Structure 1
Amino acid sequence: MSAVSARLGRMSSMAQFWHALPREGRWLLSTVAIQTLGRGLTLPFTIIYLHEVRHFDLGLSGALMSIIALTGLLVTAPGGTLIDRFGARPVLLVGLASMIAGCAILAFATEPGIAAIALVLMGVNFGVSWPGINALIATVAHGDVRQQYFGVNFALVNLGIGVGGIIGGFFVDVQRPETFTAIFLIDAASGLIPVALLLGPLRHVRTQGEADVSGEGSGGGYRAILRQPAVLWLTLLTFLAVFIGYGQMEAGFPAFARQVSEVSTRVIGFSFAVNTAVIVLFQFAVLKRLTGRRRTRAMQVMAVVWAASWLVLGATGLLPDSLAAAIGVLAFMGVFAFGETLLQPAVPAVYNDLATDRNRGRYNAVNSGAFQAGAITGPFAAGLLLDAGLDGLYIAIMVAGCAGICVLASVLERRIPANVNGVTAEEPAID
């Protein structure tokens, strides 16, 4: 009976959350999983495609993967300013057009230079999509619903990516390059879905504040934003979390699993399905536990969970090409995913609670910039370390980074107001 009651409680909470959203918020959320299906087809296999299909060496492949984030980093700051001035819609439409072109080019790239051009185009969208989408979410959702929205959106993104990863794991074959061509073309086609949304149901959503239509207004520029100690510590925390987390998902983790653990591409595809299943099953329950509690404490718990996951992955290298290694790779992704359910609702909510409508695009651009920086250095460092056979050092750096997050979260907690840290008067923090 208790399990049934808990399930009914989750369904009731989901229904309340859905009804609290405006029409635009429901449109934005309802197509997320479908939009990200194409991304799921390619995300686990891009570095494998570059290294094992196009035969670029592993170090070069890691460097090429970093181009996406490097380009994103370069366009994020001007993208945030444009979002505050003209709104998120036109900026997102330009980014989506660039992504569609980049995926189509990468599908046929046989030379590093062509692949680099494609990855630059994909990076343009990577740079503007984060602040753009977050600005849209913050515009249509407020209060506790905003934190819930970030968490549910993250779960749906992972649902699409996970399903795509399963399909890709069965479909792609390094001996058949045309299978990789197909998944990149499907990824390009999936970009047409958000284009249709932005030109249709979301065409009237206005993200920019009135004071920024003709200039900076009272929103303040990047210099004023970055002068705030809370923003600096939060940005450093975001960078480190991405470096040891998401920066490894497209390069370090698949490369370690293939080169050190010696598991198949199918196991890697299934690992992303495990990641998705854990997030989808636990995200809403975690959101309920986070409501009214300190977000910085959630970040610290996440760091401990991630440290455990990296130790599990490191252990798989001791038994390469075995059932135990395959199980360990799947377990790594499951434990890592639980940590993600703690991080993803918290960090963007803190940024957007610090921001106003006049500078929301720039605050989210700072968040995105930290993400890009971690995504640049993460794959590059992983490629160098693993190409040199420094498997143990690679795992040690990941675990040390988790300890660093705990320290940064503790510092951040003393520098942000209680309401920005998620503590509400109605439901005080339980530590």
Structure 2
Amino acid sequence: MTTATLPPLRDRLGLPETAGRHRLIGAHLVDSLGTGLILAFTLVYFARTTTLTLAAIGAAVTTARLLALPTAIAVGPLIDRYGARAVAACGNALSALAYGGFLLAGQAWQIVLVCLLTQIGHVAYWTSSTGLVVLASAEGERTRWFALVQTLRNTGMGLGGALGAVLVADDGTGGLRALVVLNAASYAVAAGLLGSWRPAAATPAPAEPAAPSAKAPSAKAPSAKAEPERGGYRAVLRDRRYLLLVVVHLAFVFGSMIISMLLAVYLTEGLHRDAWLAGSLLVLNGVQVVLTQNAVARRLERFRPTRVVAAGALLNALSFGLFALLAAAPGWIVTAGLFAAMAVFNLAETVATPYAEELSVSLADPARRGRYLAVYQLSWNLGQAVAPALLTLLLGRGAAWPWLFLLVLSLAAVPGLLRLERLR
């Protein structure tokens, strides 16, 4: 008589193999901690430590972000030549140096300079971060690694945001300067962890028969003599399937902007609710993603990544529809409706994010992966540049309009994702 053996706890929790990767995990966590520290307080810092108007500071930060837009394109060939680990470590080191420069910035051009350098560092790191997962993971565990990175990111940003809120609680500048110093130090530590990490060759995943439907559409394997430099970005731009993925991904980029750009102003200006409610919804987002991300990703491993991401788009559409309906809902149902809509949005995030990242790798030509990931990163850069103005413009026309726009965008992504299965 044989008894069934339970899979290891790590497998039941949907966690990847992490032996030998602890420095990478630490780097992701520390990087996200630093991001959370400063994310909401950049404008506040310069407003309190300089004599510039808020409008001038905002214009300087926007100028820096626009100037940094081509960074991903420049970073792609560097990843192909020097590797994702080296580029990511340099990106973090540059961010550490630039945030240290915050302490010396007092004029508009200086704010443009330090914010430009921080943005270049961020883009270099995040363009490389997908390549770090490829270095760390066995072929069958990539989605688990993407899920773990998402969990680490939410954990770090949540802790960083909470610590940052404590440091800026008083009206002086001492706490803000301490925040900047801690932030610079966190990026320096992350750079050191990545620089000292030596990834071993990824070991094959345990051999298990996989359902055909679980396979992602894959790029053609390059020949043994393929050179990363050959073809350059022209080869990427001729890849219709990958360009379709980048365009479709814009729907998720715009959707992700509700956290930082739309939710609080919609609640306070559109629904006339207290600001604390927005904070509680953000807490729900962080807690739900951290507690469920890996388990959700594990349960979806038997499905095609394209179908999983399409399901995430439909869940996004449902959540945006609920948010839009609340603009005309009776007051007694609004609070419960907000939490329900946010829970659906969080579920969409946990469903789609790891598998969208998996598609960004599996559809890329391995010989030009850096360039492919750079083009994919452009969807983030473009969305982050356009979303604030577009979403606030729509909100000015009516409380429901930005949500209806996001709903339509999410629904339009579904046929595009399914078309990825047919294009070759």
If the length of structure 2 is used for normalisation, what is the TM-score? 0.79
After superposition, where does 1:126-165 map in structure 2 within 5 Å? Answer: 126-165=122-161
Instruction: Supply the distance in 2 between the matched residues of 1:195 and 1:210 (Cα, whole angstroms).
Output: 32
2:392 matches 1:396: no
Instruction: Supply the distance in 2 between the matched residues of 1:323 and 1:28 (Cα, whole angstroms).
Output: 47
Which piece of structure 1 moves more, 106-115 or 344-353?
A: 106-115
Structure 2 residue runs without a partner (length 5+): 1-5, 203-222
Cα displacement (A) at 1:411? 2.1
Contact 2:308 2:355 in 1 (8 A): yes
- Partner in structure 1 of residue 388 of structure 2: 379
Instruction: Supply the distance in 2 between the matched residues of 1:150 and 1:380 (Cα, whole angstroms).
Output: 30
- Partner in structure 2 of residue 56 of structure 1: 54
Cα displacement (A) at 1:293? 0.8
Instruction: Supply the distance in 1 between the matched residues of 2:355 and 2:200 (Cα, whole angstroms).
Output: 28
Please give the per-residue CA displacement for 1:120-175, whole angstroms capped at 9, x wherever unaligned.
11210222112212112112213221121111111111111122233444554495
After superposition, where does 1:30-429 map in structure 2 within 5 Å? Answer: 30-46=26-42, 56-57=54-55, 61=58, 70-106=66-102, 113-169=109-165, 172-173=168-169, 179-202=175-198, 216-217=228-229, 220-242=231-253, 244-261=254-271, 267-314=277-324, 332-386=341-395, 388=396, 390-415=398-423
Q: What is the root-mean-square deviation in Å for CA atoms of aligned residues? A: 3.8
Instruction: Supply the distance in 2 between the matched residues of 1:65 and 1:9 (Cα, whole angstroms).
Output: 50
Aligned letter for 1:382? L
Instruction: Supply the distance in 2 between the matched residues of 1:264 and 1:172 (Cα, whole angstroms).
Output: 21
Instruction: Supply the distance in 2 between the matched residues of 1:64 and 1:309 (Cα, whole angstroms).
Output: 34
Provide closer, same or farther for how the CA distance between residues 298 and 68 of structure 1 changes in structure 2, counting only shifts above 3 A.
Answer: farther
Contact 1:234 1:412 in 2 (8 A): yes
Please give the per-residue CA displacement for 1:179-220, whole angstroms capped at 9, x wherever unaligned.
4444344322210221111232338899xx9968xx7455x4
Count of residue pairs brought into register by the alignment: 397
Instruction: Supply the distance in 1 between the matched residues of 2:241 and 2:39 (Cα, whole angstroms).
Output: 32
Contact 2:92 2:122 in 1 (8 A): no
Contact 2:24 2:194 in 1 (8 A): no
- Partner in structure 1 of residue 211 of structure 2: none
Cα displacement (A) at 1:323? 9.6
Aligned letter for 1:340? E
Instruction: Supply the distance in 1 between the matched residues of 2:264 and 2:98 (Cα, whole angstroms).
Output: 22
Instruction: Supply the distance in 2 between the matched residues of 1:384 and 1:112 (Cα, whole angstroms).
Output: 26
% identity of equivalent residues = 24
Provide closer, same or farther for how the CA distance between residues 168 and 262 of structure 1 changes in structure 2, counting only shifts above 3 A.
Answer: farther
Provide closer, same or farther for how the CA distance between residues 128 and 110 of structure 1 changes in structure 2, counting only shifts above 3 A.
Answer: same
- Partner in structure 2 of residue 419 of structure 1: none
Provide closer, same or farther for how the CA distance between residues 177 and 379 of structure 1 changes in structure 2, counting only shifts above 3 A.
Answer: farther
If the length of structure 1 is used for normalisation, what is the TM-score? 0.78
Instruction: Supply the distance in 2 between the matched residues of 1:169 and 1:92 (Cα, whole angstroms).
Output: 28
Cα displacement (A) at 1:231? 0.5
Provide closer, same or farther for how the CA distance between residues 264 and 117 of structure 1 changes in structure 2, counting only shifts above 3 A.
Answer: farther
Instruction: Supply the distance in 2 between the matched residues of 1:254 and 1:65 (Cα, whole angstroms).
Output: 21
Cα displacement (A) at 1:333? 4.1
Contact 2:327 2:400 in 1 (8 A): no
Please give the per-residue CA displacement for 1:202-259, whole angstroms capped at 9, x wherever unaligned.
38899xx9968xx7455x42111221121011010112321x2233433233443454
Which piece of structure 1 moves more, 245-254 or 232-241?
A: 245-254
SS in 2 for 1:376: helix
Aligned letter for 1:239? L
Provide closer, same or farther for how the CA distance between residues 125 and 325 of structure 1 changes in structure 2, counting only shifts above 3 A.
Answer: farther
Cα displacement (A) at 1:371? 1.5
- Partner in structure 2 of residue 428 of structure 1: none
Instruction: Supply the distance in 2 between the matched residues of 1:310 and 1:133 (Cα, whole angstroms).
Output: 29
Aligned letter for 2:161? G
Provide closer, same or farther for how the CA distance between residues 358 and 410 of structure 1 changes in structure 2, counting only shifts above 3 A.
Answer: closer
Instruction: Supply the distance in 2 between the matched residues of 1:106 and 1:384 (Cα, whole angstroms).
Output: 31
Contact 1:251 1:379 in 2 (8 A): yes
- Partner in structure 1 of residue 11 of structure 2: 13
Provide closer, same or farther for how the CA distance between residues 93 and 17 of structure 1 changes in structure 2, counting only shifts above 3 A.
Answer: closer
Structure 1 residue runs without a partner (length 5+): 1-7, 417-431
Please give the per-residue CA displacement for 1:377-403, whole angstroms capped at 9, x wherever unaligned.
1123234444x4643322222222112
Contact 1:247 1:377 in 2 (8 A): no
- Partner in structure 2 of residue 5 of structure 1: none
SS in 1 for 2:343: helix
